[in-house]
Amino acid sequence: MTSDSPTELRQPIWFLVLLAAATAAGATAYIPFLTVLLPLKITALMGTEDVGALAEVTFFGAIIASLANIAFGYLSDRTKTRLPWIVSGMVLSGGMLIATSAASSLTELLIMVMVWQVGLNMMLGPLFAWAGDCVPDSQKGLLGGLLAFAPALGALAGSIVTIEGLADAQGRLVLVAVFVAALVLPVAIFGRGRELEHLTRPVDREESVQADQLHGRSVVIKMWSARFLVQIAEAGLFAFLLFWLRSIAQDFHENTAANIFSAVLVISVPLALLLGRWSDASNRPIAPLAACAAIASAGLLVMAVASGLELAIVGYVLFGVAATIFLSLHTGQTLRVLPLPQHRGRDLGVFNLTNTVPSLVMPWLTLTLVPSFGFSALFGLFAGLSLLAALLLGSVPRPR
């Protein structure tokens, strides 16, 4: 039995698709900007000092993103409205994104990126909370499956804006801002008034736990910890995949790495949808998460022992598919386990730390292990963290 009301209306598929598209606006904004457009801007400003400057900008940007996500989630809770924050954040982040083209110094660029992060999280924090206000427990697995499209849309946006001759540096930023608006505005316009009363009604913690045992404090802690552990490995592979592959095959081309990443996304999306629908139908929301974390651990172990390129790629694809499915389904089920609707935005902001803090932790792990012990030690550690995540989630009880 789930916490849903027996007579509750399910949301139509068109709304879930528009909602998932809006949440993908985050990836559509930051994947092209942080991986391509921002590094190019910093190189233009700093020349050969670009690596340290990029690290500085991304470090402070991640801190601001963490704080802003919690703050605007909290404010949307207090004001009891989400859409004005979402649209305002979209406008602010789009404007600041375009403005970065005019930065004439690293300091100016740093400030603009920090304000851009404020706007982006003004949009995303309330947006995910709004999803929790609207989507019943019986459809959160399906929503999680649809969220697997987000990385693919982000990668697609990056590919489009970098087409040679399509746009100059400022035009690329304008295109990204337009893509984000095109993803967010449809659900903001056509999805108004779809909040469900029983998902937004304030409750106390005891009442919430009685309604659904997944609302217990220990379950929330296990969900947070498991995502944090898997995200450390995900952040490490995102940053160092090409370096690792070139440590095995020195002439490994960056386009091949990009193709492997694209293949992972293509495989992940239909599997995430199938598993999400299965978890809804069987009322086993956490089981796919535990399985994916275990498979991700196995993939990392293969990577740790691989000495040849073929086995290395097999290990990465296994990890990449499992981790992508895990992260998308986990987001959907996080909306279920948070116990207090009146604090949903704030609590999702705390969960968002599992996305930002690993990016701050991972470089130190890499610098500590790789120079002395090689990538095998790093991937062995990541495998252990993912296995711990699987064990934590495996101990979560099945809902009554």
What's the pLDDT tens digit per position in 275-325? Answer: 999 999 999 999 999 999 999 999 999 999 998 889 999 999 999 999 999
* C-alpha separations of 67 from 230, 353, 356, 377 in Å: 21, 9, 10, 32
* Residue 319 located in a structural domain: yes
Q: Do residues 229 and 126 both lie within one domain?
A: no
- Residues 171, 265, single domain; the answer is no
pLDDT of 142: 96
Whether residues 222 and 127 share a domain: the answer is no
Pair 296, 324: CB distance under 8 Å: no
- Mean pLDDT score, 26-45: 88
pLDDT digits (tens, 9 = 90+) for 206-252: 777 776 778 888 999 999 999 999 999 988 787 677 778 888 887 77
> What does the DSSP assignment read for 157-170?
HHHHHTSTTT--HH
Residues 128 and 263 in one domain: no
Same domain, 184 and 225: no
Domain that holds residue 258: 210-394
In a domain, 200, yes or no: no
Q: What is the gyration radius of the CA atoms in the chain, in angstroms?
A: 21
- Residue 358 within a domain: yes
- Given a cut of 50, whether residue 114 has pLDDT beyond it is yes
Average pLDDT over residues 37-55: 80
Higher pLDDT, 15 or 246: 15
